[in-house]
Amino acid sequence: MSNISLEKRWISFTELEAEYGFLVASQAKMRMMDESSTFPFLRIGNIIRYARHKVDQWLEEHNMCSNLMQGAA
């Protein structure tokens, strides 16, 4: 098996909020959106996790990266 990377592959809802700025309440709404724009997540029982690479991919597909960068400028 390969070495564990420095960044965690799976992040929690609190880590998603801290790293990407998505409020916990907004995350819940995004998880309930229709199939065309559903935010990527994994549910195991009552535990929610997000794959970092899929979150990045979702942001790129929905043009959120450029929007986030414009807000930072």
List the 47-51 sheet strands across, edge first: 10-11, 47-51, 42-44
Residue 3 lies in a domain: no
pLDDT in tens, 25-71: 999 888 887 666 678 899 999 999 999 999 999 888 877 655 555 55
Domain count, the chain: 1
Per the document, the length of the chain is 73
Half-sphere exposure of 1 (CA within 13 A, CB side): 2
Domain enclosing residue 26, as ranges: 10-72
Residue 1 lies in a domain: no
Q: What is the pLDDT of residue 8?
A: 83
pLDDT band (50, 70, 90) for residue 13: very high
Residue 58 lies in a domain: yes
Residue 71, H or E segment: helix 64-72
Residue 39 lies in a domain: yes
Nearest of 43, 45, 48, 44 to residue 16 by alpha carbon: 48
Average pLDDT over residues 4-31: 86
